[in-house]
C-alpha cells in the first residue's frame, strides 16, 4: 500500500473515534443532567444512592463492557469503552460495599 492510502485510513479511523468519543460524552452529560448533577465528573464520581442511580451505574458498566467486547472487532473501541466500564464498576462496587451511606466524596 502507498503511504498516502495508509495515512487516509488512519485519519478515517481517528475521525470515527473522535466522533464516538464526542457522542459518548454528550450522552453521559445528558444522563448526568437527567439525574440532577451539575457537571459530568461530579456525576461520574458520585456514589449512587437511589435505585435509578444504581440502575444507571450498572447500565454504564455494561455499556463499557460492550464497547470493550466490540473492540475485539475494532481495536480502538477498547480505549473508548474503558472510561464507562471503570466508572460504572466503581459506582456498582461502592454501592455493594455500602460506602454510599455518607455524602462525602470518595477520593
- pLDDT tens across the length of the chain (107 residues): 788 888 898 899 888 888 888 888 898 899 889 888 888 888 888 888 888 888 888 888 888 888 888 888 877 777 778 878 888 888 888 888 776 555 555 54
**What residues have CB less than 8 Å from 43, skipping those under 6 apart?**
28, 31, 32, 35, 37
- φ and ψ at residue 73, rounded to 5 degrees: -85, -35
Q: What is the pTM of this model?
A: 0.67
Amino acid at each position: 500500500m502507498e503511504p498516502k492510502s495508509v495515512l487516509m485510513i488512519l485519519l478515517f479511523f481517528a475521525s470515527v473515534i473522535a466522533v464516538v468519543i464526542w457522542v459518548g460524552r454528550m450522552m453521559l452529560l445528558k444522563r448526568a443532567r437527567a439525574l440532577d448533577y451539575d457537571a459530568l465528573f461530579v456525576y461520574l464520581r458520585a456514589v449512587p444512592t437511589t435505585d435509578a442511580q444504581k440502575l444507571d451505574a450498572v447500565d454504564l458498566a455494561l455499556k463499557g463492557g460492550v464497547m470493550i467486547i466490540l473492540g475485539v472487532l475494532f481495536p480502538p473501541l477498547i480505549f473508548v469503552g474503558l472510561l464507562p466500564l471503570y466508572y460504572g464498576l466503581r459506582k456498582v462496587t461502592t454501592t455493594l460495599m455500602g460506602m454510599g451511606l455518607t455524602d462525602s466524596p470518595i477520593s
